[in-house]
Amino acid sequence: MSAQLSWEGEEEDARKARRAAGELRELRAHQQGDAITIGNEFAEIRVAKVETRNGTRLLIEAPKSGQWVALCPLELEALTWQNTATFSAMIGHPFGPLIAAEEP
């Protein structure tokens, strides 16, 4: 006997996951050059330059968690404006935003 689990919002979560997987495939299809992988005992990331219709992006993937983000040059430059407290706060809240999105 097997039980099938489900939850409220399951279909919406599945739809978002399919859309994100499609976006990632599209980004990888437009990768330029070889990706580089760096890691240590705490984390591993894969970084690649990709071209989009809105310009060049840096695709950053965390293979172990499946998380990824594509950042534009301005977003990357904004990282250089931060101090270590910002990055500590980011690490202290894994897999979530520092600032909650506003509900429509």
42 DSSP 8-state letter: S
User: 46 lies in a domain?
Assistant: yes
User: 24 lies in a domain?
Assistant: no
User: 100 lies in a domain?
Assistant: no
Q: At 80, which helix (H) or strand (E)?
A: helix 73-80
**Amino acid found at 75:** E
Q: Considering its fold, how many domains does the chain have in total?
A: 1
User: 101 lies in a domain?
Assistant: no
Mean pLDDT along residues 70-98: 93
Q: What is the pLDDT of residue 50?
A: 98
User: 68 lies in a domain?
Assistant: yes
- The reply to whether the predicted model has a pTM over 0.75 is yes
Rounded CA separation 42/63 (Å): 13
pLDDT-based confidence at 93, cuts 50/70/90? confident
